[in-house]
Amino acid sequence: MKPPHRTTTLGYALLGLLHQQPRSGYDLRKIFDTTAMVHFSGSPGAIYPALRKLEQAGLIRGSVDRRTSLRPRQVFRPTPAGTRALHVWLSRPVHRDDVIRRMDELMLRFAFHSLLDDEGATASLLRGFVREIDDYIPDLRAQLAALPATTPTTARLALESGLDLYRARSRWARRALAHFGA
């Protein structure tokens, strides 16, 4: 029996992009290199092995395009199991750790959320987002207040910046909620 296979954040990013339309490894690399999805590396040493793993896990399937050409390319598309895995991932509830340690993955999840085609689910994700952030903000504020008087100015300002960003995210999510009925 195979080990369970944990899909990485990069794996879900690839799965989500392939759900939009079938693409080759090269297409995916270009996206990571040229769009705002820059925090993923478009290096071939990351993309091709990740595609291979998704294929082995049965979540995507590749097919050779332009077979006749001397420069063939392989385009990948999600299998039904891949689509299911993507839906499960998108539907995960928001936990405290998602907003503290995995904000990037959480925003990626949100970015692909439309493909669930369920405004209620998206509104629910956003409410979870707001809930966990608003729960965390007082913690940060307390940390700031508890800083010893000797704390260097830049350390204090860096923490204030973090607090600032969480407030900005909370406001953004509240505005975003307006797009989804509830």
Residues 6+ apart with CB under 8 A from 180: 119, 120, 122, 123, 126
The CB density around residue 37, as the number of other CB atoms within 10 Å, is: 15
Euclidean distance between CA atoms 6 and 155, whole angstroms: 36
**Given 16, 29, 112, 125, the residue binding DNA (CB under 7 A):** 29
Give the Cα separation of 79 and 66 in Å (integer).
21
Q: Of 73 and 167, which CB lies nearer to DNA in the complex structure?
A: 73
Binding segment toward DNA, per CB under 7 A, in 45-53, 92-100, 116-124, 151-159: 45-53
Among 11, 122, 130, 133, binds its own copies (CB under 8 A): 122
- 8 Å CB contact between 179 and 160: no
10 binds DNA, rule: CB under 7 A: yes
Binding stretches for its own copies (CB under 8 A): 35-36, 38-39, 100-101, 107-108, 110-115, 122, 140, 143, 152-155, 157-162, 164-165, 168-169, 172, 176, 179
